[in-house]
Structure 1
Amino acid sequence: MTTADTQHQETKDKTVTVTVDGEPVTGVPKRTTPNAILGLAAIDAGTHYLVRITGRHQHSFAGRGEEEISVHERETFVSVSTGPTPTA
């Protein structure tokens, strides 16, 4: 194994794949921020916040987008818009 292969494996070991809004997001560092996860999912952290879904429990990161969190392989998140809700 070359040095580059070793470095790639170490990087891979420190990242996970999570789901945001039903879509897989790869390369998420195990220690990261909710805003960084939104960025990797191509969601604007300025207009959205992240919510972790664990079974029936929802853990909101509203107003805490820069707080460092630990994430695990196959965790599920949803994004929530902070903008106005359109009415019919």
Structure 2
Amino acid sequence: MTVADTRHEGAAHKTVTVIVDEEPVAGVPQHTTPNEILKRAGIDPATHYLERVNGRHRESFKDEGGKDITVHEREKFVSVFTGPTPVS
């Protein structure tokens, strides 16, 4: 087992609080997926995808909801609706 393996092993059990749509979401595993974050925030991954916000930069996880990502305490995300928009 390498040093990196032991670090990852311990971090696998760590949880953090992230911010989704300006609301705190507690108990998120540090190693998770965008879809898991959406579910914990009470948002349907079938109709939304997640974007990580870092200043003016946004990292989109569109079509990558099952991708393994690492999140950090108080990291910010926004959900993006993918369903049809009503026409008036």
Percent identical among aligned pairs is 62
TM-score, normalisation: structure 2: 0.83
CA distance in 2, matches of 1:86, 1:30: 37
| 1:22-64 deviation digits (Å, cap 9, x = unpaired) | 1100000000000000000000000100000001100000000
State the secondary structure of the residue aligned to 1:26. strand
CA distance in 2, matches of 1:86, 1:74: 33
CA distance in 1, matches of 2:32, 2:54: 18
1:83 deviates by: 0.5
State the secondary structure of the residue aligned to 2:67. coil
1:86 deviates by: 2.5
| C-alpha RMSD of matched pairs (Å) | 1.7
CA distance in 1, matches of 2:21, 2:86: 20
- Counterpart mapping for 1:7-86 below 5 A: 14-86=14-86
1:87 deviates by: 3.5
1:84 deviates by: 1.2
**Structure 1 letter corresponding to 2:65:** G
State the secondary structure of the residue aligned to 1:38. helix
CA distance in 2, matches of 1:87, 1:22: 27
Aligned residues: 78
Runs of 4+ in 1 over 6 A off after TM superposition: none
